[in-house]
Chain A
Amino acid sequence: MFAPYPVTAYSAVNALGTTTRRVIEALSAGRSGLRRCTLDLAFETFAGELPEAPPPLPASLGDFDSRTARIAVAGLDELRPALSAAIARHGADRIGLIVGTTTAGLARTEGAYQALRETGHIPLDYDFHRQHSFGGLLEAVGRAAGIEGPALVVSTACSASAKALASARRLIASGIADAVLVGGVDGLCLTTLYGFHSLEILSATACRPFSTERNGITIGEGAAYLLLERTGEARAWLLGVGESSDAYHMAAPHPEGAGALGAMREALQGGAPSEVDYINAHSPGTRLNDQSEGKAVAALFGAGGVPIASTKGYTGHLLGAAGATEAVFSIVALEQGWIPRSLGADPADAALGLDLVTERRARPCRRVLSNSFAFGGSNVSLLFGSAPP
């Protein structure tokens, strides 16, 4: 029996803006945040960098400094009133923290390693435990948020912060927490840019999910948070979660989308596919993903059965932050009654047989499904609704 819980607050910062309002305005206006990458690389690419550098951490958290930690803490700012209210209502030790990330402070480690090679010394202010390790990032976010319940990082690559919501729901259902702050955060670093480049799936220009002109992914950075509570004033409801493994390949999705289909089906919780008003797709802009996700969606919803869009043409692929960020976008569709245009999808790949939203579409939404798929064959599908079932 799946108990639905309310999402009572959310925030998102990424290439579209450093406040949630600016992010949503850009999404509504169909404006991309992707630009030529400013990092010094051996190749040309685009990236979704924050429009302004994230502010330094407060002095008390200085030991934890990394670009990712700065983005994570900056992304908390707008949630402070909601967090204070939740702490007053439940107690800080009854609020859990689950953060999805893939890199944490890896950018700091890249710099430290380079310095070691050049000078023979690790920089004095480098701290492996507090900056590199996921536990360090978790500690910094937990302290900045002022919450003291169970805290963990979920790191299942690009499904991490969607998976974090799955764990958060169970933590509340089991009675261990009354609320969980779910976050997703990643900062740009060389390893991911060079890594996706070497896999030959990094686009030289802005990514084009679902388009016949797609040419790979664009990496972005950002943070997003959702406060999931046992009770409270809902902005939206988490109505279903589906999780599966492809058991197929570390880096390639199942060609028939079997794992994706299983996750979506589980997320529907027995509800009819026709009740879903919009799918926020995983599609980061690779042919393999589009074929796999497209087949799974068509199998469950029928050809053209449901409007579908990818928001990665706005923000880039936020990796560990993608699931939480796109959960926020899904809730915005429920609250505001519009579906963002799938930026870059035009000319759309008609062979996929999907109702691709190539122009912003006004549509009252009661149910929105959000997909996140990842290396390791990790699939998560989240169902949000404007009201409990």
Chain B
Amino acid sequence: MSGRTSPWAAVMGAGAWLPGVPDVRALMDGTRRDDADGPPARLPVRLRRRASLLIRMVAEVAAQASDQAGISLGAMPIVVGSAYGELGTTMEMLQELSIDRSVSPFRFHNSVHNTASGYLSIAHENRSPATSLAAGWQTAAMALLEARTLLEDRGGDVLVVVADETLPAALTSTVATPVSGALILRALPRDESETAMGTSEIDRALAWLADLRQEPALDGAAAPAPVDRARPADPGVDPGRAFLRLVSAAAAAGARPGLPPVRIDLTGGGDRPWSVAVGAGSPRAASRRAPQDTPTRRAP
């Protein structure tokens, strides 16, 4: 690993939205609320009109994270991970194309995968780099990896959002409902992150290994089957819900506001190519206590 920053980042703020679960507090409490209209569109009026669900989710969770962190979204790089992108808009275009042999210009330019990241940059007048990525069942991991390499490269803060819309029943039998989560991560200097916690804290440190691709879904759906390497594009893994495990873990670890560190490791190869650990303890504590074989949530 290169020298300037550690693989640990501090969580400065978090956001979550899925149907019935309007924020991180509701995610932690298990409370549910009727919100059939979707998330509030936290966007300037001129951008709000006809904003897709994905755009609204990304704007909402990013705003939650920004509010919690007390940091504006005006300058930090933006990473949006979405396995499927602007699915609703794409389905509308397919219908138009099929019926009228035309596509609305607005729908077309709002169907690109980086529509939500573009909206965020416009809404917050953020001229920093913004990226939009997908990696199937590894989407959450790759979004975090992208965030990590940005932190190592540029320092400062990075907004990372993972979100997906409902899968279209017309095209797939896989059922997945909307989900979105956000973290604002801050680069930690290597020496600071390794001495941030005293040894006395190690023993009572929380150390969770959130294996994002095997965590069960939050809303009571069955846990996804273990990944079969021979057919790894199989559905059944939901990057957005996996990401929310990390959001929850970060929120739970952050008994003090501010700074539960997140470790993003890539060990490379094998059937466990990457892992994410969250802890209020030191990096050493997390790496010592984090189980390597099964994704397990440890009680303190």
Contact = CB atoms under 8 A, between A and B. Distances in A.
Contacts of A116: 170
B285 to A, nearest CB: 23
Contacts of B78: 245
Contact of A152 (B138, B148, B232): B138
B90 to A, nearest CB: 8
Contacts of A377: 118, 121-122
A378 B118 contact: yes
Nearest to A200: B105
B2 to A, nearest CB: 5
B171 A132 contact: yes
Given A42-B101, A152-B146, A376 B114 contact: yes
Binding site secondary structure of chain A: helix
Interface stretch (A172-180, A232-240, A271-279): A172-180
Nearest to A40: B101
A244 B128 contact: yes
A200 B142 CA distance: 36
B149 to A, nearest CB: 4
A110 B111 CA distance: 14
B128 A148 contact: no
B168 to A, nearest CB: 8
Contacts of A251: 105, 109
B127 A245 contact: yes
Contacts of A134: 83, 85, 113, 134-136
Interface residues of B toward A: which range?
A: 35 or more
A64 B85 CA distance: 19
Interface in A224-256: 243-251
Interface residues of A toward B: which range?
A: 35 or more
Nearest to A159: B114
Given A91-B269, A157-B112, A376-B118, A129 B130 contact: no
B115 A156 contact: no
A190 B270 CA distance: 40
A135 B136 contact: yes
Contacts of A323: none
B82 to A, nearest CB: 9
A249 B78 CA distance: 17
Contacts of A150: 142, 145, 266, 273-274
A57 to B, nearest CB: 14
A37 to B, nearest CB: 14
Interface stretch (B29-37, B92-100, B202-210, B252-260): B92-100
Contacts of A155: 85, 112-114, 132-134
29 contacts: A106-B90, A128-B172, A135-B83, A138-B135, A139-B233, A153-B133, A154-B133, A155-B85, A167-B149, A170-B153, A171-B145, A174-B1, A175-B1, A175-B2, A191-B108, A194-B102, A194-B108, A244-B129, A245-B129, A249-B122, A250-B110, A250-B115, A250-B122, A251-B109, A375-B118, A376-B115, A376-B121, A376-B132, A378-B114
Which 5 pairs of residues, A with B, have the shortest CB-CB distance? A135-B136, A376-B118, A93-B269, A195-B108, A155-B113
